[in-house]
Amino acid sequence: MTKLELVKQISQRTGIERQDVVAVLESMMINVQDSVANGETIYLRGFGSFGPKRKAQKTARNISNNTTIIIPEHIAPSFKASKSFIQKVMQKNSK
């Protein structure tokens, strides 16, 4: 599903104008990005949480050059789905 398709569905379900849905959705995405970039975690009850996750340094291989490279420790964005979200996905896929 694309952002445009999501906007259409939200607009149809709520009766809110598409341009208003786009504005809210864009604002939410910007706020999530800014918060996670600042080291904060956002909790959306019944949906999940967005937050920064520390990744340890690791060794990897570049198979085209047959060389070993070291990927330094870094922080990456992460999403953890809520239990109810996970259960809903599992129920839909088990049918």
* 62 vs 11, residue with greater confidence: 11
Residue 95: pLDDT band (50, 70, 90) is: low
Residue 9: pLDDT band (50, 70, 90) is: very high
Using the predicted structure, report yes or no on whether residue 80 has a pLDDT greater than 80. yes
User: Which fold is adopted by the domain 3-94?
Assistant: HU Protein; Chain A (4.10.520)
What pLDDT score was predicted for residue 22? 97
Give the start-to-end residue ranges of the domains of the chain.
3-94
H, E, C per residue of the chain:
CCHHHHHHHHHHHHCCCHHHHHHHHHHHHHHHHHHHHCCCCEEECCCEEEEEEEECCEEEEECCCCEEEEECCEEEEEEEECHHHHHHHHHHHHC
13-67 per-position pLDDT tens digit: 999 999 999 999 999 999 999 999 999 999 999 999 999 999 999 999 988 888 9
